[in-house]
Each structure stands twice: as structure tokens, then as C-alpha cells.
Amino acid sequence: MTNEASAAPPQPHRTAPARKHGRWALAVLAGSQLLIVIDATIVNVALSAIRDDLGFPLQDLQWVITAYTLAFGGLLLLGGRLADRFGRRRMFVTGALTVAGASLLGGWADTAALLVAARAVQGIGAALMAPAALALLLMVFPVGRARAVALGVWAGVTAGGTALGLILGGLLTQMLSWPWVFWINVPVAIAAAGLAIVVLPTGEGGRVGRIDMAGALTATGGLMALVYGLVRTTDAGWASTDTLVALGAALLLLTAFGLLQARHDDPLVPLRLLRNRTVLGADVVGLIFGVAIYALFYFLSIFLATVLGYSPVKVGLAFLPMTVALAIAARLAGGPFASARAHKLVAVGSLLVAAGVGLLMRIGPDAGYLGTVLPGVVLAGLGLGLAFVPLTTAAVSGADPDDGGVASALFNAGQQLGGAIGLAVLTTASATRTTHLAADGEATPAAITAGWSLGFGIAAGLALAGAVIAAVTLRPSASPTDHR
């Protein structure tokens, strides 16, 4: 692939331990990513039981989800820089133990406030783990076939984890009780921390000097305010005081962050990363994929549950064909097509995602799974699998090795924030269309599904734009050294 050839070769003293335990290293890193992805969705199907048990006001129940998203998305950049500064394995282990402790506390929570606090701490742990894990994976597996296979596995667990979270959450809630959606994390996270010490390299980034705390505070505060403001639009609307204050604060804090980064000797996000056309292009396409994936899972989950009457477990199973398609395509992207240009793979993958999400615009009150849903999720899965390996390689391998943690954080943050921002915008657009059609006298089921159809249409259009961006920014001329 375009960026792999110019990536700095792995340093022998860092990768030797991982070569000896390569399969175990991949299991630990991919397992940690699976844990992080599952945590974002496993609680969804337990919300009703949580509300009944803890007496959550209905309007505040969203914070069980939002607290995790805010902490995770808002702290990813700081987590990436801490990994570069203090060591990727150290931050990975710290994050895993934080997730374990927060999960234990969440299962024990007997008040709404304590549960929301536990979810926020889970997000903090995930923000430490995620950038360190991806940077370690690229350090462990050298450029070539081994890295392509590892990234294919990473792609599979990233997409499959969402569906698995829905299935697992339904099973645990129905067979045991809602605290088990938290307690299931504890042994997994502790095992990941212990195995990491044995099978992973230290991953020292080699950075010295002071941490850019002013940048960390403004970036974290700005991102949290942005996500909070956009989440509030779904309930309070775009013109509400809460929304305007939060978005205004986000604008001020993120502007301050940009000014600080331009003046700091060792900034939280080196501007050379943003001047690197390959890295920036991959991050933007990753953000677009985040919008498409979140829209697909959100709107389609509601459609399957409310229109087709699927149970929580059956909803999760309905997404399995997408996971299988993604795994097959990711394997192909690292196998027979490994010599193809990265920009072509990502562009074709984006077109397939656009086609798959576009097909879901056909949903309606009389639509069925086999004729409407299945073709769309399979095409979207093929596109995501085909694009993910070269896209991830471009986003992280295209950066300087010492910036591996923050480059990984940018890529992860782009997907998370793309999902949060895109979902807020798409749900608002969907609700507006539904209200307009209902006002014209159209039947409620038809109006509701027409709103979801609009959300799919916007997501498909963004995926088409992603294909163009990939074709331009990930071309061979977009060398990782362009910025130097």
C-alpha cells in the first residue's frame, strides 16, 4: 500500500517480544478493541431494566449512553499523547484496569448518579486504551502481510462488536440481570491487562518534555461541549439555551485549542499531522465512516424493533451478515489485493458503503428483512471491510513513529465524533421530515420510516464524498513525508 512503503521500520528491541507472542499479542489488542466497542452498545438493550430498577427519569436515561461517549470522545487526544509520552503499554494497562474498576462499580450502582459516573469512568479508561492499542498493533506487526492480516482482524471486531454488544446485552439482561452488562467486563479487562504485560512491547514513544495540559484541557472541554450540545439538539432543539451555550463554548474552546497548538513547542496535536495530506484525508474519511455506521445501526435497529417487531437478541443477529461480509472483504484487502493502491481500495469501499446505505432508503411500513435490509447491510459490510485496512494504515503509519499514539487517537476520535455529530444531525433531519409529512396528513408509520429514509440518504451522500476525498488525498503522491 502507498503509505506502508515509506513508514519507518519497526525497531528491533521494541518488536522482538511481540514476534515471539504474535498471536497472543493480536488476541489481546483485538480483544481490547472488542471490549471498547461492545461497551458502547451493550447497555442499550438494558436501559428499560435500569430505568425500572434505579428510578431513572425517562428524559435523563440517555446519560447512561452519553456519559460514556462524552468521556471517550473528549479524552481520546489526551490519551494518545499520554501513550506517546509515558509508554503505550503502560497506558493500555492503566486504561484496562480503569475499565475493570468502573465496570465493577457500575454493576453495584444503586443510584442513577453513581451509574452515570461509572459510565464516565469507563469512557476515560477506553480513551486511554484505544489509541495505545492501535499504536501497539502497528508496532507489533511489521509492514506487509502480517500487518494486513492483523488490521483485518481489527476491522472485523470493530464492526462485529456493535452487533455482538446488542446480542450480549439482550442475553445477559434477559437471562441474568442488568448489572451483568457491566460485570462481564471485569474479568476480560483484568485478563487483558495481565496478558499485555507479558506479550506486548513497552511501546515507549520516546517523547520528552512537558505535556501540553492547556491544549489537553481546551481540546477535551471543547469536544465534550460539542458532543453535549449536539446530543441536546435531539431533545431540546437547535435553538434551546442549553444547545446554544454548549455549542458556543465548544467554538470558543476549540478555537483556543487551535491557537495554542500553533504556538506550543510540543503541542498535544502536532500541526504537522494536519498538514500531512495522507493522514488528514484518512481521518476525514474515517469520520465519514463513523457517520455512516452510526446512522445505519441506529435507524436500522429502531426499524427492526418497531416495524418488524424483532426482539433485542434478534436485532443483533440481523447485523451478523454485515459482520461476515466485513471480515471477508478485510481478508481480501490484505490478501489478493494487497498490492493495489490504497486510494483505490478506500474509494471502492466508500462507494460500496454508499450503495449499501442508499439501498436502505427503501425501508417502509411494508418492507421486509430479506428484500430490503439484507442487501444493504451486506454491501455496507463489504465496503467497510475493503476500506478499513488501507485507511487505518494511512492514518497511523503515515505519521512519524513518535506520533503513533496521537495519530491513532485522531483516527479513533474522528470516528467517534463523526458518529456523535452525524447522528445528532441526521436524527434532527429525520424528525423534521417526519413532522412535515405527518402535518400533511400522511400515516404515522409511513412518515416515520420516510424520516429514517432521509437519514440513510444523507449518510449515503457523505459516503460518496468520502470516495472522492480518498481518491484525491490517498494517492501515491500524498507521501507521509509531504509535510517535512
Kindly report the CA angle at 319 between 431 and 374, in degrees rounded to 5? 85
Q: At what angle do helices 342-359 and 320-333 cross, to 10 degrees?
A: 160
The rounded distance, in Å, linking the Cα atoms of 396 and 191 is 27
Lowest mean pLDDT among 343-347, 391-395, 463-467: 391-395
Lowest mean pLDDT among 58-62, 218-222, 264-268, 465-469: 58-62
- Across the range 48-69, mean pLDDT stands at 73
Residue 148, SS3 per DSSP? helix
Question: Residue 41: is its pLDDT beyond 80?
Answer: no
Q: How would you label 128-164 residue by residue, b for 16+ Cβ within 10 Å and e otherwise?
A: bbbbbbbbbbbbbbbbeeebbbbbbbbbbbbbbbbbb
Does the reported pTM lie above 0.85?
no
pLDDT at residue 173, rounded to an integer: 78
DSSP letters of 46-104? GHHHHHHHHT--GGGTTHHHHHHHHHHHHHHHHHHHHHHHH-HHHHHHHHHHHHHHHHH
The rounded distance, in Å, linking the Cα atoms of 300 and 310 is 11
The region, left, alpha or beta by phi > 0 then psi within -120 to 50, assigned to residue 9 is beta
Please report which confidence band the pLDDT of residue 327 belongs to, taking 50, 70 and 90 as the band edges.
confident
Which range has highest mean pLDDT (51-55, 220-224, 367-371, 444-448)?
367-371
pLDDT at residue 207, rounded to an integer: 52
Can you give the length of the chain in residues? 484
Cell 494536519 belongs to residue: 274
Q: Per-residue pLDDT tens for 138-172?
A: 777 776 667 777 777 776 677 667 667 777 877 88
